[in-house]
Chain A
Amino acid sequence: MIEIKNLEKYFTIKAKFSDRKIVHAVRRASLTIPDGGAVSLIGESGCGKTTIGRMLCGMETPSEGTIIINGQDISKLRRGARARLLQKIQLIHQDPYQALNPTHTIQQMMSATLKKMARQKKKGAEWISQRTNELLKLVGLDPSTILFKYPHMLSGGQKQRVIIARALTVEPEMLVADEVVSMIDVSLRLGILKLLRSLREKFNISILFITHDIASARYLGSNTELYVVYKGMIIEKGLTEQVIRQPHHPYTQALLSAMPILKGIEKPGKDRFVLTSQFRQSEEEQVGCLFADRCPFSQPICSEKRPELISQGNSTDAYACFFPEIRDVAAVSVDH
């Protein structure tokens, strides 16, 4: 079980020649991922969803807030213990073309990490090759044809599978999948999504799925939660299917409206609207709702006070909006 509480992250960046600017990348983000559960983070580029993922993997240090993995606060652990704990969380990158060493064969790559595992488990070379085959088969690759290949000989989808197999060598409890399907051909995306789903179901590996494509978040299996992130703040959360069908926050609705309609198979929801204004990283800190300047339904109070993420009746749903209203924006299937 992984708990993130009130996470904050500030980045200091160079604005002009000698000026420094502080970017508030993540704002009081809290989320819980149960064992074998799945959480998707949805948002535009630059909204801070990747930063949340990186902090969870230990690649960034949170400015404030706590990350608790299996009951242990990682900031309070010693270095060695923390490294061992973070080994349980593996990151899968967006770009499969850059995540593999071009001078190593798949076999070299897999055995490099497996050797270390073998030492811990006091197993021999035989175990390593057996495990390599087992993992490659698990991700849907044929070990005999793929082991001696170099990364450039593989297609994008195959590379992504190799990367997942490599992440599995250390027997993780959680995968952070950062835009894993966005660089892969549309026809092959579903294969990767199904793989992630089966890892959840078979091995109880939990998944943090970071994406800007809401549709792919639906394919991670049952009981997945969707968190919508805007400018570093979680503005709506709930069960995936429920958020898609009954979105409360105008930003969630804008994202859902932006999904292209498959003419002939789908028809648009009746309240669909297109947001034309651009995402801006504002210079001054906004006081009011972060989305107020782009929101088509904003009222004067929205730019004066910021709404908090408030849970509704049952525990899973929450949204940060003063004027929540369910709008029917997601496309629905046409019946034949």
Chain B
Amino acid sequence: MQIRIAIQKNAYHDSVALMSLTGQINGLDGIEEAVVSMGTPMNKELLANVGMLTEEAAACGDNDLILAVKAESEEALEQAFQEIDGLLHAQRGNKKKGGAPVQTWGAAVQALPEANLAIISVPGEYAAREAEKALKQGMHVMIFSDNVTLAEEKRVKELAAGKGLLVMGPDCGTAIINGVGLCFANEVRRGSVGLVAASGTGLQEVTVQLHRLGLGVSQAIGTGGRDLHEEIGGIMMLEGIRALQADEKTEVIVLISKPPHPSVQERMLRELEGSAKPAVVCFLDGDAEALREAGFTAATTLLDTAQLAAGHLKAEPAGGTGAGERFRKLLDEADRQRSRLAAGQTDVRGLFCGGTLTAEALSILRGEGLAVRSNVAKKPEEKLQDVSVSTGHTLLDLGDDEFTRGRPHPMIEPGLRNERIVQEGRDPAAAVLYLDFELGYGSHADPAGVSIEAIREARRAAEAEGRYLPVVAYVCGTELDKQDKASQTRLLEEAGVLVAESNKEAALLAARLAGRSIKEEA
């Protein structure tokens, strides 16, 4: 085993780019472990964990680049370092596309004097600072970064609200403003549904389903996951609702969130009561019944949310009854596959890239009577203790912090899920493998492609032990997305995967494969 550590002083690269690069190096033959990262305390801890924190590396600061590679041979090391060198330079070259990159705020504003939106994806401890600079220059802000403190979030949002500016985030992954998809967003029709969401993949799923129903989106505003916490008080969801109320193109308003703090929920509902525009509220895993009794249009799933919005617009669902028929055929196929399961195959095993899709699946499967465990569950009895091993019905969000420390988000690198896919295939209790694939801006160029071999291997592993392993997948995207939804779907179907048209459908198919009769219609 050969180890080489190299340091480049004062050579800052952004972490997303470095994590992608690390992923590519780890994929090379003969590489045991590669870490290419800035010398932050967290990254140094990661290096220490893999036994590659030399004294020199320990002395590095946030601006110093550490290249650490453990390989089988000197040749593999050499190849890895050459590859790293090439990739680091390629990244610099790429940035030249569409105007030279700038290094300072002054130069940025000079290059784009009419700038009205700043997207911020710097490390969390710096994000609020940069956001304040943008706000003070009159720009709206989208903060993709996480690890921003609640106090900072509140400060930044109050500053923005006072100026009539939006702060989407922190930890906001998705928005569509004026038809432009920001960070992780799908390409959807423009139209008359305006959305405000405290959830990234939730917003993606509803916009995708609206598109599938033949509708379009006026604006999709993200608020970040903590906006409806008591400490923040829903500042930006309130601002978002007001902005959509004032927006001429918006005819229906949609709210998406996990259940807000009661005092915050009260404030949101009061704002909606005064609204001239109809609204659909989706507080996933919340008390929809209570909302309905209070006179609101409330949805329990993301698909229902889109359908209820369509109802307000009196739109004919595209595909009409054909959609129901297509789903019945999928259910029939699920039944056929279920009949091939061995005796011990009982469990749903969901491996997700999308956080809100995990939460929605949990809610739906629970509704179908399954006792599910998940790393993102809020109820203590549903909390998965050891994320490295699935037990019973298990839904894993691989985009959660414990999996993304020092690694890219699985929507950027879905290949990170592959090892786990194979692991589930070997588990005799697995009755169905449940996967999501996100398309759209920001996401991997070929998520199905990088996963397909792992899916095949999982099924072969099951087969080798005399089991048949059904796989259910949902491809969250539209035919307009750059990854080409049709070919992604075909690739999965050719491998024998049951491909659903919504996350709800996929969840119901998984429940059926686990032996539930299915109360709900998709």
Do A and B interact? no
